[in-house]
């Protein structure tokens, strides 16, 4: 990777790979972190035990459940920025207000990668997923909460059906084109 951000003197980005359950956030985020040689955070790991229990029971989270979780993710982002390190976090970031918490003040460093998939693809993926606390029954709640990213959020939009390698390349190309690498 001869064009790494550090070699170019550019601060490395923080990418928030976002989308509803089943969109492929974690898979893409892990690959992006490896490709960019930056830290990875699984946002789900920062949910409180109470929130995980709610989701396991098929109960959707409320905004009140999500704010402390988003603040924990923001703290991780703050630490990366303070250390001038990059990172990639997988986080649903379903509402604009949630994304604003993560990006506020860092528009030059934090970039949203929006995985966009239709309900059928999401449902198929969730039905085949094992070992995750979020049951397929919460998909409709996720979609009802989802506020698609707006152009003024400067997202990198990635079709959820793309293979991971194609998605990683598309993100890298976009980062290169915008000098946010």
For residue range 139-162, list pLDDT tens digits in order. Answer: 778 888 889 999 999 999 999 889
Tell whether 9 is covered by a domain: no
Tell whether 73 is covered by a domain: yes
Tell whether 4 is covered by a domain: no
Give the domain range for residue 101.
15-175
Segment among 30-34, 113-117, 123-127, 154-158 with least mean pLDDT: 123-127
Tell whether 1 is covered by a domain: no
DSSP 3-state assignment of 145? Answer: helix
Output helix, strand, coil percentages for the chain, rounded to the nearest 5.
50, 15, 35
Tell whether 126 is covered by a domain: yes
- CATH number of the domain that residue 23 is part of: 3.40.50.300
* pTM recorded for the entire structure: 0.87
Nearest residue to 110 via CA among 127, 98, 120: 98
How many angstroms separate the first and last alpha carbons of the chain? 12
Q: How is 80-103 classified by DSSP, letter by letter?
A: HHHTT--EEEE----SHHHHHHHH
Q: What is the mean pLDDT of residues 114-122?
A: 89
Domain tally, the chain: 1
């Amino acid at each position: 990777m001869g064009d790494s951000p550090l070699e170019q003197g550019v601060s490395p980005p923080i990418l928030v790979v976002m989308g509803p359950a089943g969109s492929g956030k974690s898979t893409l985020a892990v690959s992006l972190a490896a490709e960019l040689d930056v830290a990875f955070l699984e946002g789900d790991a920062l949910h409180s035990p109470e929130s995980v229990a709610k989701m396991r029971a098929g109960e959707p989270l409320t905004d009140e459940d999500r704010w402390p979780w988003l603040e924990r993710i923001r703290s991780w982002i703050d630490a990366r920025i303070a250390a001038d390190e990059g990172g990639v976090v997988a986080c649903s970031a379903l509402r604009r207000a949630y994304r604003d918490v993560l990006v506020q003040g860092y528009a030059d460093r934090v970039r949203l990668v929006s995985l966009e998939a239709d309900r059928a693809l999401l449902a198929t993926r969730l039905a085949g997923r094992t070992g995750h606390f979020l049951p397929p029954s919460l998909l409709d709640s996720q979609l009802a909460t989802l506020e698609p990213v707006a152009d003024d959020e400067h997202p990198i939009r990635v079709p959820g059906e793309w293979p991971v390698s194609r998605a990683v390349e598309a993100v890298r190309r976009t980062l290169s084109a915008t000098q946010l690498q």
